[in-house]
Amino acid sequence: MTGSPAVDPDQVCALILAAGEGQRLRPLTTVRPKALCPVGNVPLLDRALRRVGALGFVGPARVAVNACYLGEQVVAHVGDRAHLSVEPGSPLGTSGGVGRLRSWIDGRGVLVGNADGYLARPDAPPGADIAALLDGWAGDTVRLLGQRLTDPTETGGFAGHRFAGFSLLPWRYVSRLSAEFGNLVRTVWRPAEAAGELEVVTFEGTYLDTGTPRDYLAANLHAAGGASLVDPTATVTGVVDRAVIGAGAMVHGSAVRSVVWPDAQVAADEQLTDVIRLGADLTVPAG
């Protein structure tokens, strides 16, 4: 793990949370789970796995993924790249998802990432951009990745920051979690804050949780870097301007500041602006 933080690799594992229903992102998430929605033509889950993989968390012994809603898609997509925890019934939330994996975590600290988080830092590649979370960690505090609050009236943050997709949990907190529905805010983060055991590591880059069509589109346009990102297998005979065009898509009309999913179609008489297109006619406004 050259260039990775000095943390004993046997004492820390990683978990990517990918079980959620993504209700705010519907109807996109009626087709595929939020974790597999593409950003910059890369599924969000793959972005998260690459990020922790760059820190050495690779393979079923070191990284896990939980699944529930449309879980069969997540299971097939992950394959043998990670340990899989398939939650029965409804998703267990962030806390229950971690609690259900206690026997796999087995005494280690755990780096927990939300699959739906889009992170980008121009001065550091994935992995290096969050490495400060692990740097010098002694295993006795809870750490959060956070972005500084710019609005003084915003509430619900931590030490002047809003959560930015990743947290690092010591085993003594994980060991108390059950496999029942709950969220880490209430079961770990706030209790650690009250005990003086919460540390916030500032993330200086761009973070979006992609939970709404607006933020999902914003993440795609950011990934495109102010230009268009067109998969080599897409067919474009129309106009593409600051858009992301997926594999096998066909664009004969125009797509401006939009996302065209893999295998989707834009007819010659269509002009799409600030939308996400699925299939031949499902269009989701980002407003």
Quick check: 162 pLDDT over 60? yes
Distance between CA atoms of residues 243 and 36, nearest Å:
19
| pLDDT recorded at residue 153 | 76
Q: Write out pLDDT tens, residues 69-95.
A: 999 999 999 999 999 999 999 999 999
The vertex-119 CA angle with 136 and 124, nearest 5°, equals 60
Q: At what angle do helices 71-78 and 44-53 cross, to 10 degrees?
A: 40
Cα–Cα distance for residue pair 214/134, rounded to 1 Å: 32
Q: Does 199 score more than 80 pLDDT?
A: yes
Residue among 69, 82, 36 nearest 210 (CA)? 36
Q: What is the DSSP letter of 203?
A: P
**Could you read off the pLDDT of 121-156 as tens digits, one per residue?**
999 999 999 999 999 999 999 999 999 998 777 777
Rounded Cα–Cα distance for residues 185 and 2 (Å): 33
User: Which is nearest to 179 in space by CA: 101, 255, 89?
Assistant: 101
Cβ–Cβ < 8 Å for 119, 165: yes
